[in-house]
Every structure is written in structure tokens, then in C-alpha cells.
Amino acid sequence: MRPVLFAVLLSTLAPVAAQAADPHSYAQPDEVRVRHLALDLRLDFPHRVLAGHATLTLDWIDPKAAALVLDTRDLAIAHVEAIDGEGHTSPLPYTLAPRDAELGSKLTIAAPSHPAQVRITYATSPAASGLQWLAPAQTAGKRQPFMFSQSESIHARSWVPLQDSPAIRFTYDAHVSAPANVRVVMSALNGAGHPLDGDFRFDQPHPIPSYLLAIAAGDLAVRETGPRSAVYAEPAVVDKAAHEFEDTERLIATTESLYGPYAWGRYDLLVLPPSFPFGGMENPDMTFATPTVLVGDKSLVSLVSHELAHSWSGNLVTSAAWRDIWLNEGFTTYVQGRITEAVYGKALADEEALLSARALQKSIGTLPANAQRLAPEPRGIGADDALSDVAYDKGSWFLRTLEQRFGRADFDAWLKGYFHRHAFTSITTEDMLADLESNLLDAHPGKMGWDEVRAWVYAPGIPKDAPLPTSPRFDAIDQARAAFLAGDLPAARLDAQHWNTQEWMYFLDRLPDDAPLAKLRELDAAWHLTGTPNAEIGMRWYSHAIAAGDTDAWSAAREHMTRIGRIYLTVPVYRAFAATPAGLAYAKAAYAQARDGYHPLTREAIERVFAKAERSKTGAAK
């Protein structure tokens, strides 16, 4: 190890030590580790609970360990028992600690005899943070209720008692009982032809971290999109989704050609109702996806490229703690760009990279210094907060820089080897840096120094010499925007009839925050942005229109933000409304009507916007 790298590691010793104990989990994996999870659960739609038991197969590491410590949040524990090697059971005493607002309740099970298995019988809360239960009226078909999970980051503990840390990987199997005619799917191999008989069984033979544990159930139809891929969605949506995602097999084959075999068997997609709080979730074997990408022209299928890329970066090689989440998201965003380039062309890949880079340049300076680092000190960083644009966009920018310095051929060889060397393991930033040193920097000396690596990983901000892609289309849009704002180019003469979604996003993103109302109304009259079905364009347009005082757009903005539960597309519109007293009152009234249809994570994000606005109003009054 070269001295300068040792200095880097030494300088981050405190964060690494804190991370070893995972500040976001009560688990004690140095004493005992869960190796396999067996679930037997019953879906109860009327009461909005999952009930049954979880059987944990254990690896006792410390001979002196006296207890199994698990993470839970709002679980009703009925009883706990040990299971010996011959299947005999005996009760185990346990204590459930008071609830911590972020971490939930520590479950301590006294087990000095080190049983091979422990079974916990329990039920979830109707308000479980990792589950959303939808009434039939909240679905596309309006015939049956729907339920889905979102375990990332530390919400698996709200529906399964387990060691809820990305450092701990386990295999699992499950038996789920459901009402007849309801289809259940999980983050495991799913059978498209499974009868809807209320009896579902699943097996995930590969070790996964807890945040990739997933379940959904509802009125789901299936369309095959390739020899190892299918789309699951409500019947009213499934054909549109199958068309949008018809390139899935091509995407899988392209990624395999770059980074090695796909390890998970199948890659299916589940299109969820609009309340899903994220764009996509990379659950193994079955990505959960937002319906907001179904715009008809495949312009937003980079989401599929992103979630598919996680099959290598994140699911195969996993960050060991939330402080290291850039190893998942930054690597995945880089791989997403490579897939998009190979399948849809370099121009689109460069546009998407430039969009994210420009947005990060605009926002990163507003963040605390620690939050600007790829590998922040974990103290004060919540698990959900770690999933920021810094992890995604600064991380991928760093990898694009490495590619530029070392050349694509050598960088690709390193990245493919990195995925192979660390397959089915959870690693830290420092593990990744050691691999980078041994297998890229030392193999090609003189192309990048460790001081530069340190600046990217441990320093706040973006290095001044960070390379940016170029886009002639974006350059032309910059010129057109400037001419439009200066009054030299009428809105109707913008060459926008052939702009793709990314180009509209870029045009709107680079409008000034205080764009004049008259110019925005001229733009809307020419291009009919109010009422757009494209949520990416809508979010940006409504944020500008509201900020400029265009009350004519309020009704359409309300329809947008109450129809869509994806945090990224909804919260900015609420934030724009919350900037004025009248807008805040309007947004609160809209939220009161829509609240029950939002996911708990979306509700939390919106309520934070309101709380901040109220604090600002109180401060101004003083």
C-alpha cells in the first residue's frame, strides 16, 4: 500500500469504525449472523397487515454471545421460539425496546444455547413505513386492493424482524397466502403462469441484503417481453408497459457484453400504481417501477437501464453501509449511461449525463459540506438522507473521469473484474479504493494520482477540472433559450417540435428561477405545457409557473402532484406552492385530500416542506 493511500484511509478511520457497527442497525453481526430467512405470511387486506412468522437460520460467530439482536419497527411480536436440529421448539425470552424515531425498536432475544434457528411470530402495523396498502379506488383497474413494499433504506424492519443492514446478506424462501384472484410477487424468481389460487411460494437462492427484500400483491397481468423477462402490471396498464419495455432483453444482453453474465436468472418488471414513491427499485429478479416512465416514446426507459445495471452494481456488489451508498448508485448511474449509449446512442447518453451534472452543479453548494462528500462521515446522516444526488451524480461523474483518464478499454477491464471479484459481497468505500489501487492505478501508473482520488471521494464539492460531456443539441438549446429570454426569438419559433424529453428538461432546468410571468405565458401558449402528460416536463414547468405567479396553472399543477406519488416529481411542486402564503394554503388543502393515497415516505417528504415553510413564516413574522 502506497503511503498516500494509507494517509487517505487513516484520515477516514473514524467514519469506518462507526460504519463497522452500522449506526443505522441494532444488529450485532460480529456475534451472530442471519444466513437464511424463511417467511410464512398471510395477506390481510381488510386490516392492512401481514401476519405470520419469520424463521432465521443463524451462524453463531462469537462463542460468548448470549443474545440475538434484531431490527424491528412497529411490529407486534406474539412469541419467539428456538428450533433445534431435529425440529423441536422451545420458547425464548425476549425484550422489545422503546421505539426510536428513525431506528425503530431493538428486539433482543435471549439465546445463550445458540439455537440453529429462531422463529418469530408477529404481525405488521397498518402504518408500516415499508408497506403501502391501496384501496381498489386507488388503483388503475379499481377492482381489487393493492399492496407493495419499499424496504430501502431501513424499512424492511417494518415488515420483517431481521438484521436490517446492507452488510448482512442472506438467502430466503417464502410462503404467502393471499385472497383468490390476487397475484403475489417477490424479489425472487416469479412464475408468470402461477395460478391465482391464493398460495404462493418463492425462493431466492442468492444472498441479498435486507433492503432488497420485496413483496407486492394485487390485480396483476403478465406480458412476456423476452426469454428471461416479463412485465407485470394492472390489466389496464400492462400492454402499454410491455410496449415501453420491449427492449429489455436487448438491454440485458448489452450489459452482459460489457460486464459479464447476468447472475439472477430472470429480469422482470413490476409497474406499480402511481403512489410508488421512487422511479424504480432494483429488487432482485423483479424491478419495481413507476408508471410515470410510460410516456409512449421510450424516452424515459433509461430508468430500466438504471435498475438493470443494479443487477451488477448494488445487488451483486453491495455497499456495506448507507455511508457507502455511492458504490451502489454512482456505479449504477455510470453503467446506465453505458447501456443507454450502446442501445440508444451516444447523443442521448451524453444528454442525460450533462443534465445530471448541470443539476448537481446548481444544487451541491446548498448542501452541508459533509453531505457533499461521496463517502461522508456517517454521524448526522440518516439512512434515507444518504440517497442523494451526490451519491448518484457525483459518483458517476467520478467514474466517467476514471474512464477518460485510463481509457475505456482498460477502465472496462477493471470494472468488469471488480464486479467479478466482489460478487455477492458487501464492501466499503475503502475496499473499493484498495481494489482500484491494485487493479487499475498501479497497473497503469501516472494517469491519476491519489490526491485526485481523495478529492473526488472525501472532499466536498466537485473538482474544478471535472470533465463534462458535450452536446451540440444542448448548445443549440442554450442559444435558443437566451434569445427567447432576451426577446429576440418568439416562443412559437423555438425549434422544439422535435425535442425529446431530455431536451425539454434541459430547456426548463436552465430557465432562471425568477423567469418573468409574461415569458412563461408566451411559452405555454406556444407549446401547451400546462396539462402535459409527461411528468418530467410537468414537474419542471409547474415549478416555474407557480414561482412566477401564474395562478392559471394551479389547477393542473394540483392534478399533477396529487396524481403522482413519486417524491422526485411531486415534492418540487409542493415546494413551489409553499413559497407564498396563498400557495401554501392551496397546497395544504390539496394535500389534505390526497394524503391517504400517498406512500408514507412521500407524506413524510411533503410534510417536511410544509414544516420548513411554517418555520420561515414564523421567522419572518418575528
pLDDT digits (tens, 9 = 90+) for 178-227: 999 999 999 999 998 999 999 999 999 999 999 999 999 999 999 999 99
Where does the pLDDT of residue 302 fall: very low under 50, low under 70, confident under 90, or very high at 90 and above?
A: confident
pLDDT of residue 616: 85
Instruction: Tell me: do 417 and 555 sit in the same domain.
Output: no
Domain at 233, CATH number: 3.30.2010.30
End-to-end CA distance of the chain: 57
CA-nearest of 213, 218, 148 to 183 is 218
Cβ count within 10 A of residue 433:
21
Q: Which residues are annotated as a binding site for Zn(2+)?
A: 306, 310, 329
Instruction: Tell me: do 214 and 231 sit in the same domain.
Output: no
User: Does residue 7 belong to any structural domain of this protein?
Assistant: no
Instruction: Tell me: do 246 and 285 sit in the same domain.
Output: yes
Q: Tell me the one-letter amino acid at 378.
A: P
Span 320-339, pLDDT tens digits:
999 999 999 999 999 999 99
Cα separation of 533 and 517, whole Å? 22
pLDDT of 2 > 60? The answer is no
Instruction: Tell me: do 441 and 505 sit in the same domain.
Output: no
Residue range 526-543: average pLDDT?
A: 97
User: Does residue 16 belong to any structural domain of this protein?
Assistant: no
pLDDT of residue 620: 66
Cα separation of 350 and 171, whole Å? 38
User: Does residue 15 belong to any structural domain of this protein?
Assistant: no
User: Does residue 466 belong to any structural domain of this protein?
Assistant: no
Domain at 541, CATH number: 1.25.40.320
User: Does residue 239 belong to any structural domain of this protein?
Assistant: yes
Instruction: Tell me: do 406 and 447 sit in the same domain.
Output: yes
Span 487-519, pLDDT tens digits:
999 999 999 999 999 999 999 999 999 999 999
User: Does residue 8 belong to any structural domain of this protein?
Assistant: no
Instruction: Tell me: do 351 and 454 sit in the same domain.
Output: yes
pLDDT of residue 1: 40
Instruction: Tell me: do 214 and 79 sit in the same domain.
Output: yes
pLDDT of residue 297: 84
Cα separation of 178 and 500, whole Å? 43
Residues with catalytic function: 307, 392
User: Does residue 603 belong to any structural domain of this protein?
Assistant: yes
Instruction: Tell me: do 273 and 415 sit in the same domain.
Output: no
Q: What angle do CA 191, 197, 202 make, to 5 degrees?
A: 40
283's grid cell:
429488487
pLDDT of residue 622: 57
Span 125-137, pLDDT tens digits:
999 999 999 999 8
Span 452-467, pLDDT tens digits:
999 999 999 999 999 9
pLDDT of residue 358: 94
User: Of 311, 333, 360, which residue sits at a domain end?
Assistant: 311
User: Of 164, 184, 219, which residue sits at a domain end?
Assistant: 219
Instruction: Tell me: do 184 and 305 sit in the same domain.
Output: no
User: Of 284, 311, 338, which residue sits at a domain end?
Assistant: 311
Rg (CA), the chain: 25
Instruction: Tell me: do 326 and 450 sit in the same domain.
Output: yes
Where does the pLDDT of residue 369 fall: very low under 50, low under 70, confident under 90, or very high at 90 and above?
A: very high
Cα separation of 304 and 344, whole Å? 13
Instruction: Tell me: do 362 and 392 sit in the same domain.
Output: yes
Cα separation of 168 and 425, whole Å? 9
Q: What single DSSP character describes residue 413?
A: H
Span 60-113, pLDDT tens digits:
999 999 999 999 999 999 999 999 988 899 999 999 999 999 999 999 999 999
Span 135-184, pLDDT tens digits:
998 998 899 999 999 999 999 999 999 999 999 999 999 999 999 999 99
How many domains, the chain? 4
What's the mean per-residue pLDDT of the chain? Answer: 94
Instruction: Tell me: do 190 and 283 sit in the same domain.
Output: no
pLDDT of residue 17: 33
Could you tell me the residue range of the domain that residue 76 belongs to? 23-219
